Amino acid sequence: MTSVKTNPNSPEHWVADALTQRRAAHLERTLIPYGNVGGRIEIEGRTFLNFSSNDYLNLSQHPRVLRAAHEALTRYGAGATSSRVVTGTLDLHADLESALARHKGYPAALVMGSGYLVNCGIVPALVGRNDHVFADRLVHASLIDGIRLSGARLHRFAHNDPSSLEALLKRPTEGRRLIVTESVFSMDGDLSPLEVINALASEHGTMLLVDEAHAVGLFGPHGAGRIQELQLTPQPTFAMGTLSKALGGYGGYVACSSTMRQYLIQATRSFIYSTAPAPAVIGAALGALAELEAQSALGAELLARAHTFREALRDAGFNVLQSQSQIIPLRIGDNEKALRFSRRLHEDGLIAVAIRPPTVPPGEARIRLSLTLAHSSEALAGALNVLISAGKAEGLL
């Protein structure tokens, strides 16, 4: 008997090879268990500023959110126990969908297990083999996976470039057409030209799906997002979002017309064939939305801090790309250099994970800083000094 390790036919063999290759390219991902979450975290008695959390408004820890989650847990129990289309739709889900529709200014909303499941599920519900999807080159993996599952033809347009999109839309095509983009890009922190893209969509009679994962909580009235901020008319066909970033919990949703919602209930496999989100999670989201509705300036406050911080980083010589949001990339390029910089920052008390391919295009490795309200202006001033000294020490500045 050959051992598992030396038998070339054993799955352990090719898996070990695949891991070795990733490690050699500085692309291996590892899981580090943390003891707490948010913008400031404790590790072995030391406080770190965490720039890799999407808990932008600190709502994951807010008493109102915790109370709402706790009440839902106590009243309904741990799980929803069946799919939304069977007996898993609780009055809580309906309440959250009404609240989200109101918040986003759409007639209806549909909540699912996560933002990933929304994007993976609704794209194949809307387009199929004979149809076309036009996607910004940098859209999130969940959208790309939805497009792949749909079998529709994918046309990628240059990042945030409506003229590139327009050229593609002008080509004659049969079948349904869907444009997908983000309103705040997750890895670049830049803003898409939504007015122009929305006008192109309506001019060409094309559906438009806008992923507002990183806009909600920050932009627009009460953090409703950029579609509301820009008062786009007609509204994009779909505004998707997540309950897991600024809202501090877990889950995803899409806002749309009532007819579209009714259709998506029939056709979205990730919605139909998965258990409904658990009561505590829905309770938390209701609490977070109520807090957003009660506060009008949380997002603006964070964006103001981010602006000051970003301009100081730019002045110091960092390449912050076209960021205009709470997400500030420090473009490095090389995977290993990005990892080394991230490790040095960790030694200096900052958590800022190196983002590498395939999350970003090859040669575009970066440190992605995401600011949260747990980062006070004083803390940010300290972090700026750390980033600049570390950048110099690593030869990046």
Ligand X SMILES: *Cc1c(COP(=O)(O)O)cnc(C)c1O
Is 293 designated active site? no
- Choose, by CB under 6 A, the member of 76, 116, 134, 219 that binds ligand X: 116
- Site for ligand X contains 119 (CB under 6 A): yes
Least Å from the CB of residue 60 to ligand X: 13
Is 385 designated active site? no
- Site for ligand X contains 181 (CB under 6 A): no
- Site for ligand X contains 285 (CB under 6 A): no
Sketch the per residue contact string, 238 through 267, with ligand X: x for CB under 6 A, - otherwise. ----x-x-------x---------------
Nearer to ligand X, 48 or 253 (CB): 253
Question: Residue of minimal CB distance from ligand X?
Answer: 115
206-225: contacts with ligand X (CB under 6 A) = 211, 213-214
- Site for ligand X contains 146 (CB under 6 A): no
- Site for ligand X contains 326 (CB under 6 A): no
Is 211 designated active site? yes
Contacts of 250 (CB under 8 A, 6+ apart): 114, 243, 244, 277, 281, 284
- Site for ligand X contains 323 (CB under 6 A): no
Cis bond upstream, residue 277 (ω within 30): no
- Of the residues 140, 155, 222, 375, which is catalytic? 140
Least Å from the CB of residue 174 to ligand X: 29
Least Å from the CB of residue 187 to ligand X: 8
Size of the site for ligand X (CB under 6 A): 14
Is 182 designated active site? yes
Nearer to ligand X, 119 or 335 (CB): 119
- Site for ligand X contains 115 (CB under 6 A): yes
Is 186 designated active site? yes
- Choose, by CB under 6 A, the member of 183, 186, 206, 270 that binds ligand X: 186
Least Å from the CB of residue 229 to ligand X: 17
Residues forming the site for ligand X (CB under 6 A): 114-116, 119, 140, 142, 182, 186, 211, 213-214, 242, 244, 252
Active site residues: 54, 140, 182, 186, 211, 214, 245
